[in-house]
A and B are shown apart, each in its own frame.
Chain A
Amino acid sequence: EPEVTQTPSHQVTQMGQEVILRCVPISNHLYFYWYRQILGQKVEFLVSFYNNEISEKSEIFDDQFSVERPDGSNFTLKIRSTKLEDSAMYFCASTLRLVTNEKLFFGSGTQLSVL
């Protein structure tokens, strides 16, 4: 079965540094997402992206966050100036269409640790 791949699997950074988390969605998918999960907490929606623009974002997704699809295959999440509370597992997901019978495919995540 096709997979969503995320790199790196682990990222350690200093507070205030910029990080870019990378994702390669399934090749023919059109809708892309970022979710995050702080240790011991729920999986939380961050942002959805379609047709090269953000279609929806949560309150978590403030000005420190941005997303980009720089080419035909990658989908990135940038955090401009990381904070301690950004430490979490970040999941990328994709789907082909927003209709019934479509399921979200999630990557295995990037564990971000901000020191």
Chain B
Amino acid sequence: DAKTTQPTSMDCAEGRAANLPCNHSTISGNEYVYWYRQIHSQGPQYIIHGLKNNETNEMASLIITEDRKSSTLILPHATLRDTAVYYCIVLTGTASKLTFGTGTRLQVTL
């Protein structure tokens, strides 16, 4: 599975959009970009995933560049409850396991 690079930490004001970047320059054609998050001491939680096209669900939007070498997770209106570590993971669609990196620690502040 391709390696990903994320900033260690980010801050965001409550109510503003949080834009979390991820670099995955070695991604291959059949690999998907997945995002999970882990709120303090809880189990990881799935957010969204995509292959080529931008995706949106009730939690977030995922923007993938045309060359697929990077992506951005967007939380449109961050709340305090979005404070968590966000993991960008690249893997094939039938991968049997997730490999977590260190992620981005997002702190949402008043």
Contact = CB atoms under 8 A, between A and B. Distances in A.
B2 to A, nearest CB: 16
Interface residues of A, number: 26
> Do most interface residues of chain B lie in helix, strand or loop, or is the interface mixed?
loop
A33 B93 contact: no
Contacts of B15: none
Nearest to B38: A43
Contacts of B96: 31, 48, 55-56, 98
A111 B41 CA distance: 9
B97 A91 contact: no
A82 to B, nearest CB: 21
Interface of B: 32, 34, 36, 38, 41-46, 49, 51, 87, 93-102
22 contacts: A4-B43, A31-B96, A35-B98, A42-B100, A44-B100, A45-B97, A45-B99, A48-B96, A56-B97, A91-B43, A91-B44, A93-B43, A99-B93, A100-B93, A100-B94, A103-B46, A103-B49, A104-B46, A106-B44, A106-B45, A108-B42, A108-B43
Interface of A: 4, 31, 33, 35, 42-45, 48, 55-56, 89, 91, 93, 98-101, 103-109, 111
